[in-house]
Structure 1
Amino acid sequence: MKTGTRTATRRAPFAPVLLLVAALLAVITVLAPGARATGGLDAAAAALKQGPVYVDPRAAGQFPKADADALAKKIKNSGKPIFVAVLPRAAEYPPKTLLQDLRTKVGISGVYAVELGNGFNAGADPRVMPHGAVTNLVGSVNRSDYPTVSQRLNSFVDIADQQAMGHAPSSWGGGGNSGIDTGTLVGLGALVVIGGGGAYALARRQRRRRAEEERAALEDLRVVVDEDITAFGEELDRLDFNPGEPGADDAMRADYSHALDAYENAKSAMTRAERPGDVQSVTRALEDGRFSLATLAARREGRPLPERRLPCFFDPRHGPSVVDVAWAPSGGAERTVPVCAADKSRLDDGREPLARTVRTESGDRPYWDAGPAYAPWAGGYFGGGLLPGLLVGTMLGNLMMSSPAYGADFGGPSGAEGGDVTGSDFNPDDFGGGFGDGGGFDGGGGGGFDGGF
């Protein structure tokens, strides 16, 4: 008994030491920038929650640890939510759904780049980088025929770093050394205590500043949107339709009811709007209502029903367009835009179209030259995916394509930024097909991984 007691007594002092060693090993594992695990999608997701780069052990020959650590350091130093995975061709990495499955399991908004076997692809939450920007970047990287995985991934990250919005996830910890020395571990606790308060205060200031900017932008939009809602209400009044009038049928009454619902939906959505992106649902409802009015007018006059088209580019209040025409803004390149019959006639006569103008500090300007606040307003009318193409060469178009922040209001969870935890709340289309030339794995042109979904 005495011997057993002495043995237990001798071992007891080592228990805290063993616990400390285990804790330090856990810290080292978490902070190691080029994380490596045993393989599989769950392991990849777990590693990417803790660091920006994951290399499946079976793909280590393609992307050595030194290269992975250097890339992880570069991403951490950039402070951007860019995730990179290097994976082998294996059954646990199904190509067709790999990007969206990885994004789901990691659950953090960001840019996701994956090297699968000898193919490369990427996707992103639109608040971090617009779909068009990702498509162009992936295509450019694939067409460059880089001889090594390292060159391809570094090329992608270098450009994505310049365009991505948001912040690195807090779960990554600090920035970018490839090793963790004793001094770092000793000072870790002190840094947490000292820096935690400052980081929290900085984050609060950033959130407050962003909220103030969004409130100001929403107030600018409110004037324009209220004018649109009022104009649509006046159209309903001028229509002078009575559901019980002679000749009215169920189809006419359905069109009229749909237009009334759209009017009420637009008013309610504007009342609930808390940020600029919320305005998109208002103008989408107005566009839908105007098409119902155009359909009702055609039924009452015995004309063929109108084709469902985008509203007039120059002023959505003109109603659905009737034709596409070539047009160029002042000093800009020519592009094809949808126009109403009246604006088509004006252009044919060599006159300027009746453009929707909004108030700016420099006077009234067409909405496409009035600044970024009008991106969500226009997006509801024309669709976020089509808008940059329609606006290329204009102030709003240039801002949307040069800074993903302006395109971010077209999708993504309300209020979520790059680096925020959103779980599975994202659009899978942003992590799938549609990449075009060389965008798929193995250089295929069919879209996403192995040809898309």
Structure 2
Amino acid sequence: MKTATRRVLIGPVLLLLAALLTMVTVAAPGAHAAGGLDEAAAALRKGPVYVDPRASGQFSASQADALTKKIKDSGKPVFVAVLPRTSDYPPATLLRDLRTKVGIAGVYAVELGDGFNAGADPRVMPRTAVQNLVGAVNRSSYPTVSARVNSFVDTAVTEAHGHAPASWGGAAGGFGTGTAIGLGALIVVGGGGAYAIARRNRRQRAEEERAALEDLRIVVDEDITAFGEELDRLDFDPGESGADDAMRADYAHALDAYEDAKSAMAAAERPGDVQAVTKELEEGRFALATLAARRTGQPLPERRLPCFFDPRHGPSVVDAAWAPPGGAERTVPVCAADQSRLQDGREPLARTVRTAQGDRPYWDAGPAYAPWAGGYFGGGLLPGLLVGTTLGHLMAAGPAYGADFGGYQGAEGGDVTGADFDPGDFGGGFGGDGGFGDGGFGGGDF
């Protein structure tokens, strides 16, 4: 009986000791693993800083501890790895692979040998912010690794969106036996809790996406209907007298764009999918403008962006100076009617949409209209056209409104995603080595 009793008592004790050892490892910010990408990822899931033992001469344990405390105290999902340039860390894919293996949305900065680079999930930090920050750090020619990574972190923690991962265990500080016992008990439920939080966050994002898509659907359906009415008013018969192959091709192109736009909208599942719809409508309207010119013997129209004030006006004819209320003047593409109104000192005929505050021009209606506008005007030009407007401000300031105009796509900083992120948005550095070399490279998005 005594032996059986001892076995009964020893089992829980061993489990508690194992839990304590696990939590000591988690809470020791300066801890080093044996080296390699898997070890680096495992360490970064437990804390914000990892130093490969072979790089400890570049970044000491005390420096790692101080940086860990700084990041944890900020509460932001910023990860830093100091690694040697070895075959364990292929530079061309290092940032992407590290993000995949860690499985947490955030900002990732890596010192590899004598090269520095960084990447981020779009909702945590926009591509341009990462590129500018990495460039500024590298151009500053800091003499030590500590100076370089601390400079990056000091700015990154003020600009990054999201929260520190739950697996880091809160702010850095003292670690006593009582804390170890409490944290050890949490291990039992920690895995299930993290999964529940991740599932809740995914469900919340899905609900946000559905709501944003429904707001967009009203506007896009109006655009599709308006284009269909333009086709009806055209009254073109491919077999009519005077019709030639070029006219028939323009008409077919317009019809295809109309059908493709309807199909794309019917299949849309996320706000970003709307961009393909409005791109088709822009293509179709240019085909109609070309057909109209052929039928009347006029010069064929120049391929231009649609009218900025309302893409339903068709292709623009000129660029004109315009400023939103309280904003700086910029040049925007306008149709002939709006050009005339601007010259007369009148307000252009702006595309308005419904908001909780009443009807507003689309550029002052909020982030849901970024993918709608992106299809008409293209990702590269749109931010410049929208500078000083509500939508332009949101796109510039928040990673949720990035270059793909995907609305609510992407994970919040600190969310556990595993390998479920879009590597197509990633662009780390320049050249075949992925940017780790002479320090002359930029950063990118995951």
Give TM class, smaller chain. 0.7 to 0.9
Matches within 5 A, 1:235-254: 235-248=230-243, 251-254=246-249
Partner of 1:7: none
CA distance in 1, matches of 2:412, 2:403: 9
Which residue of structure 2 aligns with residue 135 of structure 1? 131
Are positions 1:271 and 2:266 aligned together?
yes
1:6 maps to none
Deviation per residue, 1:430-451 (Å, 9 max, x gap): 333489xxx985342x6569xx
1:57-98: CA deviation from partner (whole Å, max 9, x where unpaired): 232222222222333344345444322222233454444443
| Alignment CA distance shift 1:110-1:281 (3 Å) | farther
3-state SS of 1:37 partner:
coil
Deviates most, 190-199 or 308-317: 190-199
> Do the aligned partners of residues 209 and 49 (structure 1) sit closer, same or farther apart at CA in structure 2, a change above 3 Å counting?
closer
Match of 2:82 among 81, 86, 110: 86
Contact 2:20/2:181, CA 8 A, preserved across alignment:
no
| Cα distance in structure 2, aligned partners of 1:40 and 1:204 | 30
Which one of the candidate residues 308, 311, 317 is aligned to 1:316?
A: 311
Per the alignment, residue 67 of structure 1 pairs with 63
**Counterparts in 2 of 1:180 and 1:130: CA distance versus 1, 3 Å:** same
The answer to whether the aligner puts 1:191 opposite 2:186 as a matched pair is yes
- CA distance 1:244–1:219, change in 2 (3 Å): same
- Structure 1 letter corresponding to 2:79: F
Residue of structure 2 in register with 1:232 after alignment: 227
Secondary structure of 1:431's match?
coil
Among residues 258, 262, 268, which one is paired with 2:257 in the alignment? Answer: 262
Shift, 1:230, TM fit: 1.3
Equivalences for 1:100-139 in 2 at 5 Å? 100-139=96-135
Q: Which residue of 2 aligns with 1:175?
A: 170
Quote the sequence identity (%).
77
Residues 296-349 of structure 1: per-residue CA shift (max 9 Å, x gap): 445555666555443222222222334444432222223333333443444445
Change over 3 Å in CA distance of 1:198–1:18 after alignment to 2:
closer
Which residue identity does 2:44 align to in structure 1?
L
> C-alpha distance in 1, partners of 2:151/2:299?
54
Provide closer, same or farther for how the CA distance between residues 44 and 231 of structure 1 changes in structure 2, counting only shifts above 3 A.
Answer: same
SS in 2 for 1:122: strand
Pick one of 152, 155, 158 that aligns with 1:159: 155
Contact 2:131 2:442 in 1 (8 A): no
Please give the residue correspondences for 1:289-438 in structure 2 after superposition, counting only pairs within 5 Å.
289-301=284-296, 306-407=301-402, 410-411=405-406, 414=409, 416-418=411-413, 419-421=415-417, 423=419, 425-433=421-429
Give unpaired runs (5+ residues) of structure 1: 1-9
Moved more, 222-231 or 32-41: 32-41
Change (3 A) 1:371 1:448: closer
Residue 62 of structure 1 aligns to a residue in which SS? coil
Secondary structure of the residue that 1:84 maps to in structure 2? strand
The C-alpha deviation readout for 1:356-411, integer Å capped at 9, x for no partner, is: 22233444332212223322322222234433222111122122222323448724
Separation in 2 of the partners of 1:241 and 1:31?
A: 74
How many residues of Structure 1 are paired with residues of Structure 2 in the alignment? 435
In the aligned structure 2, how far is the partner of 1:297 from the partner of 1:102? 55
What code does the residue aligned with 2:178 have?
A: G
Cα distance between partner residues in 2 of 1:352 and 1:87: 58
The farther-off stretch of 114-123 and 159-168 is 159-168
The 1:39/1:378 distance shift into structure 2, 3 A limit, reads same
CA contact (8 A) 1:127 1:405 kept: yes
Distance between the aligned counterparts of 1:253 and 1:83, measured in 2? 58
Contact 1:126 1:412 survives alignment (8 Å): no
Q: 1:25-36 to 2 correspondence within 5 Å?
A: 25-34=21-30, 36=32
Match of 1:4 in 2: none
Check 1:111–1:325 CA distance in 2 against 1; reply closer, same or farther (3 A cut): farther
SS of 1:332 mapped into structure 2: coil
1 CA distance for matches of 2:349 and 2:408? 36
C-alpha distance in 2 between matches for 1:383 and 1:109 = 27
TM-score, normalisation: structure 1: 0.78
